Amino acid sequence: MTIRIISTDEAPAAIGPYSQAVEAGGFLFCSGQIPVSPETGELVIANVASATDQAIRNLAAVLEAAGLGLEDVVKTTVFLADMNEFPTMNAVYASHFGDARPARACVQAARLPKGALVEIEAIAKIR
């Protein structure tokens, strides 16, 4: 099986020994994206809405580097610092994914990298 590493400057660089995404077996496995601005390197922590928006824009940039888009995503996992923020996250998530509704799990995490409010990982089908 061929494995291809995906990397882009349009999303934050990995903050550990991992890749932004790996293509293997007809799928793209995207590492979790937190709401770090790729332009400034700063964490977006204003609120869950802006944090979710930035995390999804980062995810979209990684997908684009592989020639894909949000419409190609088949599964996501959303990690929230506070499950009480689910309705807010869900509204922003829906605005990005529209009618492309991948399978999804959402869990509350005790702590996310850099103190982020949200992290989103995804699996996409290669076209």
Annotated catalytic residue 30: no
Catalytic entry in 45, 49, 65, 106: 106
Give pairs for 20-26: CB < 8 Å, separation 24+: 20/62, 20/65, 21/62, 21/63, 21/65, 21/66, 23/66, 23/126, 25/1, 26/125, 26/126
What residues are annotated to the active site? 106
